[in-house]
Every structure is written in structure tokens, then in C-alpha cells.
């Protein structure tokens, strides 16, 4: 049986690497940064300004509680972002994973009519 924490940490490293490769050179997992086990950390990925990123690699994901975890950890001034690895999508395909947040966070980011 696969160790759930190890599986999660592998996914976190893949996400941090994806962010690094896409313009966020300071992105790192909080476990690597603190040398800890990921418990009671600010978020799973740090070094992405303005975001509280929670990474999940599990089939029985509870989206609501995972997103709430990101929101609580980030506080009122960070965008809560849940990144979830879909079943059968590999660690090398982080760009195809799901990024989930609240609608209230997305609407301000969308272009207005006439701006496309």
C-alpha cells in the first residue's frame, strides 16, 4: 500500500516544479522549506505571492474541506487555491490537473466585455 503522506509530498513537489518552470522561481513545498512533515504549515506550496495553495493527490477528495483549508491557511489576503491531481493524469502533466477556487475569486480576473 502506498503511504498517503509520501504520495501527497510527491504531488506537492510536482506542483512546485510546475510553478518554478512557469515564472515563479521561489516556489517550493512548505515541507522542504521547513524540513517538516507538512502539518500546520502555511500552505503546501509557498513562494507564489498572494496565493494559499493546497495540493491533493487522492481519489476520495473532499473538495469543500480542502478548499476551506486553503482559505483558512491563507487568511483574507491570499487567493485560496486547491490543486487536485485527477486519477490517471501523471505527475509530469501538472498543467492538466484541476485548479479550484471560489467563483468570487475568479470573476475579478476575467476580462470585461470588449476586452477580449
Q: What CATH number corresponds to the domain at position 19?
A: 3.40.1350
CB 65 within 8 A of CB 73: no
Residue 115 lies in a domain: no
Kindly state the greatest CA–CA separation across the chain.
53
CA distance linking residue 55 with residue 12, whole number of Å: 6
Task: Please give the tally of structural domains in the chain.
Answer: 1
Name the nearest CA neighbour of 29 among 44, 7, 11: 44
- Highest mean pLDDT among 2-11, 27-36, 94-103 belongs to 94-103
The pTM for the full model equals: 0.85
Retrieve residue 81's grid coordinates.
Answer: 487555491
Q: Identify the pLDDT of residue 1.
A: 52
Rg of the chain, C-alpha, whole Å: 14
Reply yes or no on whether the pLDDT at 33 is more than 80. Answer: no
Retrieve residue 71's grid coordinates.
Answer: 482559505
**Average pLDDT of 43-48?**
94
> Among the listed ranges 31-35, 43-47, 86-90, which one has the minimum average pLDDT value?
31-35
Q: Identify the pLDDT of residue 36.
A: 56
Residue 116 lies in a domain: no
State the residue range of the domain holding 11.
Answer: 4-109
Residue 114 lies in a domain: no
Average pLDDT score over the chain = 89
Write out pLDDT tens, residues 85-115.
999 999 999 999 999 999 999 999 888 887 6
Reply yes or no on whether the pLDDT at 47 is more than 90. Answer: yes
CB burial string 5-40: b at 16+ within 10 A, e below: eeebbebbbbbbbbbeeeebeebbbbbeeeeeebee
Reply yes or no on whether the pLDDT at 4 is more than 90. Answer: no
State phi, psi for 114 to the nearest 5 degrees: 90, -10
Residue 93 lies in a domain: yes
Amino acid at each position: 500500500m502506498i503511504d498517503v503522506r509520501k504520495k501527497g509530498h510527491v504531488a506537492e513537489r510536482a506542483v512546485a516544479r510546475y510553478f518554478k518552470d512557469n515564472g515563479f522561481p521561489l516556489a517550493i513545498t512548505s515541507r522542504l522549506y521547513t524540513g517538516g512533515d507538512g502539518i500546520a504549515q502555511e500552505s503546501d506550496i509557498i513562494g507564489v505571492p498572494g496565493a494559499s495553495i493546497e495540493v491533493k493527490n487522492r481519489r476520495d477528495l473532499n473538495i469543500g474541506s480542502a478548499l476551506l483549508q486553503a482559505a483558512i491557511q491563507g487568511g483574507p489576503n491570499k487567493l485560496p487555491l486547491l490543486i487536485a491531481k485527477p486519477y490517471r493524469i501523471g505527475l509530469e502533466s501538472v498543467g492538466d490537473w484541476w485548479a479550484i477556487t471560489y467563483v468570487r475569486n475568479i470573476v475579478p480576473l476575467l476580462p470585461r466585455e470588449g476586452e477580449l
